[in-house]
Amino acid sequence: MMNNIFSVLVMLIFAGSLQAQQMKPEETEDWSRQPPVVRPGNPGEPPSDAIILYRKAGDAVNWVHENLESIKWTADSVLTVQPKTGGIKTVRSFGDCQLHIEWRTPTEVKGSGQGRANSGIFLMGKYELQVLDSYNNETYYNGQAGSIYKQHIPLVNASGKPGEWQSYDVIFTAPRFNPEGQVVSPAYITVFHNGVLIQNHVRLTGPTQYIGIPVYKAHADKLPLSLQDHGNPVSFRNIWIREL
Binding site for Mg ion (CB under 5 A): 118, 120, 228
Residue 64: what residue type?
V
Residues 172, 168: Cα–Cα separation, whole Å: 12
Residue 164: what residue type?
E
- Within a 10 A sphere around the Cβ of 58, how many other Cβ atoms? 9
| Nearest alpha carbon to residue 95 among 201, 240, 241 | 241
Shortest CB 171 distance to Mg ion, Å: 20
17 membership: H or E segment, kind and range: helix 2-22
Identify whether the C-beta of residue 9 lies closer than 8 Å to the C-beta of residue 1.
no
Indicate the residue whose CB is closest to Mg ion.
120
Residues 240, 41: Cα–Cα separation, whole Å: 12
Distances (CA, A) of 205 to 14, 108, 174, 198: 47, 36, 12, 18
Name the residue nearer to Mg ion (CB basis): 46 or 120: 120
Shortest CB 73 distance to Mg ion, Å: 15
SS3 8: helix
Residue 237: what residue type?
R
